[in-house]
Structure 1
Amino acid sequence: MKLQFDRNLLEKYNIAGPRYTSYPPATFFHEEYGNENYKESVILSNDETPENVSVYVHIPFCPQLCTFCGCTTYTGMGQSTIEKYIDVLIKEIELVSKDVSKDRKLTQVHWGGGTPNAISAKLIRKVTDTIKANFNFADEYEMAMECSPAYLDFDMVDELRDMGFNRISLGVQDFKKEVLTAINRRPAKVPVGEMIAYLKKVGFSGINIDLVYGLPFQTQESFRETVAEALAANPDRLVTFSYAHIPQVISRQRMLEQYGLPTPDEKITMLEDAYNMAVEAGYVAIGMDHFAKPDDEFAIALEQKKLHRNFQGYCTRETTGQVYGFGTSSISQLFNAYSQNEKTIKKYMERVEADGRAVVRGYRLNQKEQIVRQVINELMCNYYADFRQIAADFSVETDEVYASVEFAEEKVQSFIDDGLLTIENDAFTVIGQGRYVIRNIAMAFDPALKQGKGQYSKTV
Structure 2
Amino acid sequence: MKQSILDKYSVPVPRYTSYPPANFFSPSYTAEQHRRAVIESNSREPSHISVYIHLPFCFQMCYYCGCNAFLLTDKSTAAKYVEAVKKEMQLIFPMLSKNRKVSQIHYGGGTPTTYSVTVLKEINDLVFSEFDCIKDPEIAIECHPGYMSEEYWATLPEIGFNRISIGVQDFNREVLKASHRKPSRLEIGEIIAGLHKQKVSVNLDFIYGLPLQTEASFAETIQKAISLQPERIVTFSYAHVPWVNPLQQKLEKTGLPTVTEKEKLFNSASGLLHEAGYRSIGLDHFVLPEDELYKAFREKTLHRNFQGYCTRRTTGQVYAFGVTGISQLAASYSQNTKDIPTYISQIEKKELAVLKGYALNPEEQITRAVISSLMCNNYVSWQEIAASFQTTPEKVKAILHYDEKKIHELEEDGLIDRDEEEIRVRPEATPFVRNVAASLDKLMLHTDKQFSKPM
Name the TM-score class by shorter chain: over 0.9
Distance in 2 between residues matched to 1:98 and 1:76, nearest whole Å:
32
- Report how far residue 418 of structure 1 moved: 2.7
Contact 2:178 2:251 (8 Å CA) reproduced: yes
Residue 356 of structure 1: aligned partner: 351
Aligned residue for 1:152, secondary structure, equals coil
In the alignment, which residue of structure 2 is the partner of 1:238? Answer: 233
Match of 1:303? 298
**Percent sequence identity over aligned pairs:** 44
Are 1:275 and 2:270 an aligned pair? Answer: yes
Correspondences of 1:130-145 after superposition (within 5 Å):
130-145=126-141
Q: Indicate the SS of the match to 2:424.
A: strand
Answer yes or no: is the 8 Å Cα contact 2:154–2:194 preserved in 1: no
1:266 to 261, 266, 273: 261
- Gaps in structure 1 of 5+ consecutive residues: none
Which of 77, 92, 98 is residue 96 of structure 1 equivalent to?
Answer: 92
State the Cα deviation string for residues 238-272 of structure 1 (Å, max 9, x = none): 11111111213321111112211112211111001
Which of 219, 222, 239 in structure 2 is aligned with 1:227?
222
| Counterpart selection for 2:242 from 220, 224, 247 | 247
**2:115 alignment partner in structure 1:** 119
Change (3 A) 1:66 1:432: closer
Match for 1:246: what amino acid?
V
For residue 425 of structure 1, report the CA deviation from its aligned partner.
4.2
Partner SS, residue 46 of structure 1? helix
Amino acid at match of 2:442: P
**Equivalent pair of 2:378/2:430 in contact (CA under 8 Å):** yes
Cα distance in 2 between the residues matched to 1:400 and 1:332: 29
CA distance in 2, matches of 1:32, 1:265: 42
Shift of 1:89: 0.5
The superposition leaves residues 132-177 of structure 1 with CA deviations (integer Å, 9 ceiling, x where unpaired) of: 1223322220100000111233311232211111000010001112
Pick the aligned partner of 1:184 from 180, 193, 196.
180
When residues 275 and 198 of structure 1 are mapped into structure 2, their CA distance, relative to the original with a 3 A threshold, is same
Distance 1:411 1:27 in 2: 25
TM norm structure 2 = 0.97
CA distance in 2 between partners of 1:135 and 1:152 (Å): 30
Q: Deviation at 1:344?
A: 1.6
Aligned residue runs from structure 1 range 355-434, under 5 A: 355-434=350-429
Aligned-partner Cα distance in 1 for 2:350–2:114: 29
2:17 is the counterpart of 1:21: yes
Is the Cα contact below 8 Å between 1:245 and 1:253 reproduced in 2? yes
What is the CA deviation profile of residues 385-433 of structure 1, one whole-angstrom value per residue up to 9, with x for unaligned ones?
1111111111223322112113221121111223432333432222242
Aligned to 1:327: 322
- 1:150 is aligned, of 146, 153, 157, to 146
Conserved in 2, the CA contact under 8 Å of 1:141 and 1:319?
A: yes
Matched, 1:73 2:69: yes
Determine the C-alpha separation between the residues in 2 that align with 1:73 and 1:434. Answer: 32
Tell me, in whole angstroms, the C-alpha distance in 2 between the residues paired with 1:213 and 1:244: 10
Q: Is the 8 A contact 2:102 2:137 kept in 1?
A: yes
* RMSD, aligned CA: 1.4
SS at match of 2:409: helix
Q: Deviations over 1:14-56 (max 9, x none)?
A: 1111111110001110101121111011111111111111010
Per-residue CA shift, 1:329-377, capped at 9, x if unaligned?
Answer: 1111111101100112111111111133101000000110010001001
Query: Partners of 1:389 and 1:76 in 2: how far apart?
Result: 48
Task: Give, as a single letter, the amino acid of the residue that structure 2 aligns with 1:379.
Answer: L
SS of equivalent residue, structure 2 residue 376: helix
Residue 149 of structure 1 aligns to a residue whose secondary structure is coil
C-alpha distance in 2 between matches for 1:419 and 1:258: 35
> Deviations along 1:110-151, whole A, 9 cap, x unmatched?
000011112111111111111112233222201000001112
Q: Are positions 1:284 and 2:284 aligned together?
A: no
Secondary structure class of the residue paired with 1:194: helix
Letter in 2 for 1:94: Q
- Report the counterpart of residue 45 of structure 1 in structure 2: 41
Q: Residue 447 of structure 1 corresponds to which residue in structure 2? A: 442
Secondary structure of 1:151 counterpart:
coil
55-64 or 222-231, larger mean C-alpha shift: 222-231
1:168 is matched with: 164
- Greater alpha carbon shift after TM alignment, 50-59 vs 10-19: 10-19
For residue 119 of structure 1, what is the amino acid of its counterpart? Y
AA aligned to 2:261 is E
Give yes or no for contact 1:56–1:325 (8 Å, CA) kept in 2: yes
1:61 maps to 57
Which residue does 2:313 correspond to in 1? 318
User: 2:349 aligns to what SS in structure 1?
Assistant: helix
TM-score scaled by structure 1? 0.96
AA partner of residue 158 (structure 1):
A
Partner of 2:57: helix, strand, or coil? coil
Preserved CA contact (<8 Å) 1:27 1:454: yes
- Name the CA distance, whole Å, in 2 between partners of 1:116 and 1:249: 21
Contact 1:57 1:325 in 2 (8 A): yes
Which residue does 1:435 correspond to in 2? 430
Are the equivalent residues in 1 in contact too, given 2:66–2:241 (CA < 8 A)? no
Please give the per-residue CA displacement for 1:305-327, whole angstroms capped at 9, x wherever unaligned.
11111112111111111111001
CA deviation string 1:268-297 (max 9, x = no partner): 110010000100111001122210011111
Where structure 2 has 5 or more consecutive residues not aligned to the other structure, the ranges are none
